[in-house]
Amino acid sequence: MGVIVLGCCAVWALISSALGQGRPEGVLLAVLAVVAGYACGRIGGSAVPAGAAVASALAAGAAAAAAATGSGAGDGRAGEVAALLALAQGAACCAACAVRTGGRAWAARLLVVAVVVLAAVLGSPAGCAATAAVALCALGAAGAHGRGRGPVLLVCAAVAAAAVAGVCAVAHGALPADGAVPTRRVAVWHEAVALAREHPVTGAGPDRFGELGPAAAQAASAFDGEAHSAPLQEAAEQGVVGLALLAGVYVWMLYGLARSPRTTPVAVSAAAALTCLAVLASASDALSFAPVAAAAGALAGLGTADPAPPAVPYG
């Protein structure tokens, strides 16, 4: 299923680009990052489940710190920082759930706390909220067993859908922003909706939103030509087909976690982090960065890996 969904994303980006004279390189890079991260997560999660999760958490945390302190940091990269922190927390919770006793268990729990502290140190309110939410979901699922993950994953899907619906309502003017969303961002969202109405099926072409939206071009220093909303930008640049494929990637990840051989706490931790990413991406440009796509793929791979049984000494 993953091969089909991601393959369709790549093919449709090429088709939409050919029809709208767009540039599909960004979409293809994101697909490649997800594939590479997922493969690494599956391999590492099968060989060393806890170790791979710790490594993924450390890598995502380091990437978040680099994004927050690097050149051009600020509001333009706030979504990237928060998304990486949420994914780092998901991996840390997977490690804590995979190791229940001994010194390694306490080390993994300290890592969970460290990610929350890192979010506070980096000054990311969204990151603090996301890391705390993922940790609470993992804690709530710690005693769950068997098939208890199904309702939780359905709630995750409902939360992601509600976030996207809320952003779309603001973009259409059906729901007032009331100062909760910056005025420039709302103006860019309006342009994304208008562009999606002009090209409902194929979109205007990948990576063309900054050229076709006057408000996006004027705010290029803050938004870098982005719609600051993954679903709205996908609808504007690749039409309803691209939007459906973006939703399909998230559904594929949740479906894989629902059928995963990993324990319920591990699957719920990964699903909570991916849902936080979906919520953040609905109102920011978090998915425009390759490290976020790679970290999301790695977390999905960790959550769906089949851990190899311990080796039995011969004889």
Question: What pLDDT, in 10s, does the model give residues 1-55?
Answer: 888 999 999 999 999 999 888 889 999 999 999 999 999 999 999 999 999 999 9
Q: Which residues contact 80 (CB under 8 A, 6 or more apart)?
A: 64, 67, 284, 285, 286, 288, 289, 291, 292
Higher pLDDT: 210 or 198? It is 198
| pTM score, whole prediction | 0.92
For CA atoms 188, 193, 194, 200, the dihedral sign is positive
Note whether 303 and 257 are within 8 A (CB).
Answer: yes
pLDDT exceeds cutoff 50 at 210:
yes
pLDDT exceeds cutoff 60 at 274:
yes
Residues 105, 120: Cα–Cα separation, whole Å = 24
Residues 286, 82: Cα–Cα separation, whole Å = 8
The per-residue pLDDT for range 55-108, each reduced to its tens digit, is 999 999 999 999 998 744 455 588 999 999 999 999 999 999 988 777 788 999
Chain mean pLDDT for the chain: 88
Note whether 164 and 282 are within 8 A (CB).
Answer: yes
Note whether 280 and 79 are within 8 A (CB).
Answer: yes
E strand or H helix that includes residue 25: helix 25-47
> What percent of the chain is predicted at pLDDT more than 90?
65
Q: Which residues contact 32 (CB under 8 A, 6 or more apart)?
A: none
Question: What's 287's DSSP letter?
Answer: G
pLDDT exceeds cutoff 50 at 222:
no
Q: What is the pLDDT of residue 223?
A: 47
The per-residue pLDDT for range 112-149, each reduced to its tens digit, is 999 999 999 999 999 999 999 999 999 988 765 545 78
Residues 299, 42: Cα–Cα separation, whole Å = 9
pLDDT exceeds cutoff 60 at 218:
no
